[in-house]
Amino acid sequence: MDRKHCCVKLSVRPSRGLMDEKFLVLVQNALPGLQLTVHAFHECEDGHKWQSFAHYTADATGTVNVSEDCSVGGSYSGVEPMGLLWSLKPVPGSKPGLRMRKKNVQTPMVVVVSVYQGHLTEGFVDQVLLASVMVERWYMAPGVRRIPVTEDGLTATLFLPPGPGPFPGLLDLWGGGGQLVEYRAALLASHGIATMALDYLTCKFTLETGKVVGNQYFESAYKCLEKHPQVIGSRIGMLGLSLGTSITLKMAVYSEVVKLRCAICISGSHVQPIDGSLEQILGYFNTNSGKTRFSDENEMIWRDLLLPIPSDPSTKVDVGRLQCPLLLVVGEDDQNWCTYESAMDMKEMMERAGNSHLLTILSYPKAGHLIEPPYTPHARASSYRTLYTRQKVMALWGGQTPEHALAQEDSWRKVLIFLRENLYGGTNAGATSLSHL
């Protein structure tokens, strides 16, 4: 190896930061015009390995700035400051259907960024690297407190921001996969919002009784958040993704207990029996299971289950009665749920009712179903355990990776602004925590 190559310097700044914080990757002291591959590697808590790589050419000063320079190939092309994260894919030979999800939010996502000579596409472990840096990406900012919640039969985790509070509150609901998913709630708490992640499909009650929780379960979660001494009880919102949006809309419109300051629905629909419980909602969806389609790769496509959007008002949440601001986040290539058609119908319903001033729609062409916090690697399809049979299938979520990554970054920024405007309002509480947005 040329002696000059031994002096190649690689820096990532900040080397430790939040998951939604951009970093700067800089290669210096290379030979001018040298072809280089910048590589990222991550091993998940479950032992699965992920990688991404991009091809660059050092400029006249021997420098590559990933935030400004154009990748000419690899996992992504063009100028993509955070492409090394959002383009991560399972390494060759991995089992199919993997999706990256952080289980333990009290530890960082560790990524090793390396630089190699030449434009490589494989065999990285056998190559001599020129430089390497370890990077930590956290969902919990310093000072965020993680508090397991079991009172009132709940299976939940509350994340409190740093400082004395009190803080605005948020209920965070994921979709049909179940489990207690904490990473989005932890990240929201890192931005100054007391956020409770709630498991409502695989919670202790359901595991012990075999029964689906009733509407009062969600009202209990709201009341638990409302009465917490470090939560401003009059400033609580609700965020749902996929099936979680069905609950969010139902609570926002029909609950006598849940009084939301705002609601966010990501990749969901208002189509459901309006007077039903969660069990009846699931049953309604299941009656349409015959509309399931399959891709050429035998991936399940569920987007037709609720199409065409019904005209019968008893099968749709009456969003015309909504009294709080509503933000809809839509991927127009969603293959799992008819989110775009649902958003357009909700818009029409609210226009007729005269409350469309409460509605904001963020709609992204070529984005899929799983619109997550920014720089989360895109899974166009992944293995999924169905609600009824608990059978593992391959679900097609949709989305094209570059456009989906852009949707995640843009929508997250606007979600934080929406929450700040509607939950903080005229108060100064937590202003310091949010000042860097």
Q: Which residues are catalytic?
A: 242, 334, 369
Q: The tokens of 38 are what?
A: 């910048």
Residue 84 forms beta bridges with which residues? none
Quick check: bond before 308 cis, omega within 30? yes
The strand pair at 167-173 and 231-241 is best described as parallel
Strand arrangement of the beta sheet that strand 194-198 belongs to: 145-149, 156-160, 194-198, 167-173, 231-241, 262-266, 326-331, 359-364
Q: How many residues does the chain have?
A: 437
CA distance linking residue 196 with residue 249, whole number of Å: 17
CA distance linking residue 352 with residue 110, whole number of Å: 50
Helix runs in 106-213, H state only: 183-189, 204-209
- Count Cα neighbours of 275 within 13 Å in the Cβ-side half-sphere: 2
Q: The tokens of 279 are what?
A: 């069990």
Q: The tokens of 34 are what?
A: 């040298």
Q: Is 160 left (phi over 0), alpha (psi -120 to 50) or beta?
A: beta
At 103, give phi and psi (nearest 5°): -90, -50
Cα 43-47-48 angle, rounded to 5 deg:
70
C-alpha radius of gyration, the chain, whole number: 23
Cα 314-278-415 angle, rounded to 5 deg:
90
Quick check: bond before 14 cis, omega within 30? yes
At 3, give phi and psi (nearest 5°): -60, -30
Helix runs in 303-365, H state only: 339-353
> Tokens 């949006």, residue?
245
Helix axes of 278-287 and 243-254: crossing angle, nearest 10 degrees: 130
